[in-house]
Amino acid sequence: MINRIYKIPFLFFLTQLCLFFCFISCESSTENGGSVKSRVQSDDMKVMHTRVIWTNEPSNHAIISWTSSDQGGRHLVQYVQSDQKPSESALRESVQSMRDGKISIDESKNQLNSEQGYFHHAEMVNLDPDSKYYFRVCSDDACSDIYWFRTAPLSGTDFSLLFGGDSRIGGNEVEYGHKSRHTERQIMNKNIATLVEKDPSILAFVHGADFCSNAEWRYLYWWFEDYEYTITSDNRILPLIISRGNHDMEIGFVENFWLGDISYKNSDGYYFNTEFSSDVNLITLNTETSLTGDQRKWLENELKRSRPQYKWLFVQYHKPAWPATKPFEREDFARIRKHWIPLLEEYDVDLVVESDGHTLKRTVPILNNKKDDKGIIYIGEGGLGVPQRKADPARWYFKDGGLATSAHHVWKMTFKNNSAQVSAIGIDRNILDQFTIRSKQ
């Protein structure tokens, strides 16, 4: 009887000990980049909306962001540098998320049935330039497909870039959700994937803001759902360069578009430079905060530093200095012309991309408020799915060589030695406009 009394606790102790070491083993494999699928599976957790964000140095740094359906306790990116798609077990490196949280939802406005989500942002650092990186995101035991992107080169211009803005609702629909398709936005996103598949030199997509009607989750959820159409058939994700517009001012924008150190310094900032190589620099500005003060001082310093250093210097922001449809005299547009344009002209910026107007435009070269061959061309003005407005081609900065019309479009820039070909590609993938610029450096 005494032996039977002690035998049961002893077996229980051995069982618990084995379970403890199994748990430690699973945790250790995850810490060292092993597959988190070795942990206990959960039918409730799912991951979605995987995206790559670039900020200052895309040759060695990337932010990987995604959404999970539940809060979970462990969120990481597993990755490896490789020229070919690896197996899951080959994703030997791992980095944990830097910022996580529950996405804000106003339930009184959530008639569109967007699911509750949790945001996650991780940083990949010390990457090799001009290299393919395969990765997947994992929240607890749930992992995404394996995707890949290419880092920017250290030098040269052997790549192309895409530009566009205003991807809000498409067509005449006024609702989001399963019962209402945002057709034009989805088509434009599919076109982006097709462009990348046909021209692998396309390196990144520069988004000119106004992602949704506003930045509440009920809209952003469906934007992220639709943005997955830009992923190519071989799971390539084109990195995004983010700017902020007047429809991006809710807390959901800050929660879901985190920019690392830039966000830590000033969550309202969203102005920074992106060095695509030692030859190409892009300055992103924010028209939705003060145009003067810190931002203007930063802009002047960045222009002063960049112009002697880079062969190509571009600028993008949301609201237009040279609108194609909205009133030219509007105060917010006039302030851009007063505080920013003289600096852009002083430092010979090569090209400026604007959005907001929901048209297709290209100005004549402008210098000192008049047409001048030594001036700056401004393109835009937002056609990634938003309903198009009627443009006004009679304005002086469109006459004798400019363009202003209504058409969904995305801009593609292809570098060729000291020149760059700029093309506006329509919803039917036809060329709507095309011109060549030469470097001013």
What is the tens place of the pLDDT at every residue in 178-227? 445 688 999 999 999 999 999 999 999 999 999 998 999 988 998 999 99
* pTM for the whole structure: 0.88
Specify the amino acid at residue 354: E
Q: Would you state the structure tokens that stand for residue 63, as one six-digit string?
A: 């932010």
Report residue 153 CA to chain centroid gap: 19
Specify the amino acid at residue 377: I
50-81 pLDDT, tens digit per residue, is 999 999 999 999 999 999 999 999 999 999 99
Dist. CA 141–CA 75, nearest whole Å: 9
Q: Would you state the structure tokens that stand for residue 428, as one six-digit string?
A: 């039917």
Cis peptide before 302 (omega within 30 of 0): no
Dist. CA 289–CA 295, nearest whole Å: 9
The pLDDT confidence band at residue 375, using thresholds 50, 70 and 90, is very high
CA angle 215, 328, 342 (to 5 degrees): 90
Dist. CA 146–CA 85, nearest whole Å: 8
- Compute the chain's Rg from CA coordinates: 24
Contacts 24+ apart (CB under 8 A), 271-274: 271/295, 271/298, 271/299, 272/55, 272/56, 273/56, 273/302, 273/306, 274/54, 274/55, 274/56, 274/58, 274/241
Q: Would you state the structure tokens that stand for residue 44, as one six-digit string?
A: 């409730």
Contacts 24+ apart (CB under 8 A), 21-29: none
β strands within 191-305, DSSP E? 202-207, 240-241, 272-277, 280-284
Looking at the predicted structure, is the pLDDT value of residue 30 above 60?
Answer: no
Beta bridge partners of 353: 316, 379
Is residue 299 a contact partner of residue 289, using CB atoms and an 8 Å limit? no
The pLDDT confidence band at residue 416, using thresholds 50, 70 and 90, is confident
